[in-house]
Amino acid sequence: MGIFDVFSKREKRQKEMPSVYAYDILSSKVRIQIVRILDDLSGEDHYVAHDSSTLFETVHSILCDEIGVLRLEQLRHNMYKEAVLNFILQENTTEYVIDAIEVTVRTIEEMIESRNGWAFQTAKIKPNDAIHQINFRFRENGIGFQYENGRIIKLDNSFSHSQIIRPVLQLLSDKKFAGPCEEFQKAFDHYSNGRNKECIAECLKAFESTMKVICKEKKWNFDKNFTAKKLIDVCLKNGLVPALLQTQLTNVTQLFESGIPALRNNMGGHGQGNVIQVVDDRIARYAINLTASNILFFVEQSGLR
C-alpha cells in the first residue's frame, strides 16, 4: 500500500524526536506493519506453483534449524506462512523476530533471482519496494535496524551512536547550544522519516549554528550571515585548531567545504531544476555522521563543554 504521512504522525513528530535508536523491543505496531509488508510481498499461497507456501516452508525450515527447534509453535496443518508471520507477531525474543524478517526477505530475493527476475505471481509489491518500506518502518518507529544486501544490520554500524551521535547530543544539551541541538535533532527526525533532502539542510544549519555559538562565546568577530566557509575560517584564524594540527591538516577547510556545505548546496539547498534530485539514505547517513563528527571536534576544541 505504500507509506502515508498521516495527521497522527505529523502531530507526533512535533512532540517527539528520537535521539537514539532502540534495539531490544519491537512494538506490536511495527510488527504488524512489517507482517503486512511481507504478506503483500509474498502474495497468496493458492495460486500457480504455490509460491507463498514454498517460500514459507523454506523460511520455516531455516528458522527451526538456526533457533534449534523442531517447529515453530504456531505451525498448524503445514500452514507455514501463518506460522512464520505469527512468529513475527508473537515471539518474545527480539533477535529471533529480526531473524525471521531477514530470512523471509532474503529467501524471496534468492527465489526471484533463481527465476531470472520472475516475481511471485500474486505479490502486491516488488522486493525493492518492500525493503524500502521495512527500513522506513524501522526508522519511523525508532528501531535501530536496517535491511541491506541480504541481511539486517544494526544502525550502530552506519550511525556511530556510542562514539559520535550520543556524545554530540550530550554536548549540545547545554542551553547555549539549544539552536544547533534542535537543528541536529530535526536532521535526525527528517532521516527517520525519509526526508533526506531536509535532513542535509538541517545538518548544515546545525554545523553553522554550532560555529556561531562558539564564535559568540569566544567573542570572535563574525557576521550572523556568515556561511559555513567563512565561519570555518574564523574558527581557524582564532586558533580553534592547534598549530600542530593546522600544519598537518592544511586542507581542513577544503575537507569541510567538500563535506556538509557541498552536500547541502548540491543536493539539499537549492532548486533542482527540471530533474528531480534523489538523495538516498546512504548520503543522508553520511551527512549526519559527518555533521556529528565536525560538531564534536569543534565543541571539544572550544572548551565550552
Which pLDDT value is given to residue 47? 43
Which pLDDT value is given to residue 31? 96
- Over 50: is that where the pLDDT of 229 sits? yes
> Cα separation of 123 and 284, whole Å?
30
Which pLDDT value is given to residue 112? 78
> Cα separation of 13 and 9, whole Å?
6
Same domain, 22 and 143: yes
- Over 60: is that where the pLDDT of 16 sits? no
Among 125, 157, 189, the domain boundary falls at: 157
Which pLDDT value is given to residue 153? 79
Residue 222 in domain: yes
Residue 190 in domain: yes
- Over 60: is that where the pLDDT of 224 sits? yes
Q: What is the mean pLDDT of the chain?
A: 79
Residue 1 in domain: no
Same domain, 139 and 209: no
Domain ranges, residue 222 = 161-302
Same domain, 139 and 106: yes
Same domain, 141 and 170: no
Residue 231 in domain: yes
Choose the most confident range, by mean pLDDT, from 17-21, 27-31, 265-269, 273-277. 27-31
Among 135, 157, 179, the domain boundary falls at: 157
Residue 28 or residue 118, greater confidence: 28
- The residue-averaged pLDDT of 1-18 equals 60
Same domain, 110 and 166: no
Least confident of 114-123, 186-195, 247-256, 259-268: 247-256
Same domain, 57 and 91: yes
C-alpha cell at 71: 517447529
- The residue-averaged pLDDT of 29-46 equals 85
Same domain, 146 and 166: no
With the CA atoms of 171, 172, 176 and 179 taken in that order, what torsion angle do they form, in degrees rounded to the nearest 10? Answer: 160
Judge whether 58 and 121 are in contact, CB under 8 Å.
no
- Collect all residues with Cβ–Cβ distance below 8 Å to 95 and sequence separation of at least 6: none
Name the pLDDT band for 49 (thresholds 50, 70, 90). very low
For the whole model, what pTM was predicted? 0.57
DSSP for 25-71, written as a single string: ---HHHHHHHHHHHHHHH--SSSGGGHHHHHHHHHHHHHHHHHT-SS
Same domain, 20 and 147: yes
- Over 60: is that where the pLDDT of 218 sits? yes
- The residue-averaged pLDDT of 284-296 equals 85
Residue 6 or residue 205, greater confidence: 205
Same domain, 36 and 174: no
Same domain, 201 and 280: yes
CB atoms within 10 A of CB 71: 13
Map grid coordinates 594540527 to a residue. 245
Residue 254 in domain: yes
Residue 43 in domain: yes
Among 140, 157, 174, the domain boundary falls at: 157
C-alpha cell at 95: 533477535
Which pLDDT value is given to residue 24? 79
> Cα separation of 201 and 204, whole Å?
5
Q: For the segment 176-206, what is each residue's pLDDT rounded down to a tens digit?
A: 999 999 898 888 878 877 788 888 889 889 9
Question: Total domain count for the chain?
Answer: 2
Which pLDDT value is given to residue 139? 84
Same domain, 216 and 150: no
Residue 2 in domain: no
Same domain, 147 and 173: no
Which pLDDT value is given to residue 113? 76
